[in-house]
Amino acid sequence: MGEEFYSVLKLVSGEELFSLVSVDDNDGDPLIILQNPVVMKTGSNNGNAYIKIKPWMEIPNDDIFIIKLDKVITMTEVKDENTIELYERYLNDDHHDFEIDGKVKISDKMGFISTVEDARKKLEKIFKGIKES
């Protein structure tokens, strides 16, 4: 098995993948081994650029995939540290911040500190000038 490197691959299906890649010669019939392949899409919203990352295959629990070289149109090594860091941060989050329908789960990191009812009561006391005990 060859050396591992980060790569963007364009498949004959039209998909573009980002993955940690290694190549196995396999007796003259090379195989591409993909570890945690993802699809990265760039976009913008109100003038802000963003990158959306999602797993290449959402249902399998596997993180290693093997494809034949004839299914790859082109591939290029990625050395951009920002892209690699973003990819690794996504993997280290265990994809828990993302759901299949694209909605983000609420977490303590988002600043959730009370319920709507508790916040309403506190704001009413502040408005009325009542000090909390």
Distance separating alpha carbons of residues 99 and 105, to the nearest angstrom: 7
pTM > 0.75: no
Domain contains 88: yes
Task: Note the pLDDT tens digit of each residue in 18-60.
Answer: 999 999 887 888 899 999 999 988 877 777 777 888 889 888 7
Domain contains 50: yes
Name the residue range of residue 40's domain.
Answer: 5-99
- 3-state SS, residue 14: coil
Domain contains 116: no
CATH of the domain at 73: 2.30.30.100
Domain contains 117: no
In 46-109, the DSSP E strands lie at 48-55, 64-68, 72-77
Distance separating alpha carbons of residues 65 and 105, to the nearest angstrom: 28
Task: Note the pLDDT tens digit of each residue in 59-86.
Answer: 878 889 999 999 999 999 999 888 888 8
Query: Structural domain tally of the chain?
Result: 1
Domain contains 19: yes
Domain contains 130: no
Position 48 scores a pLDDT of: 74
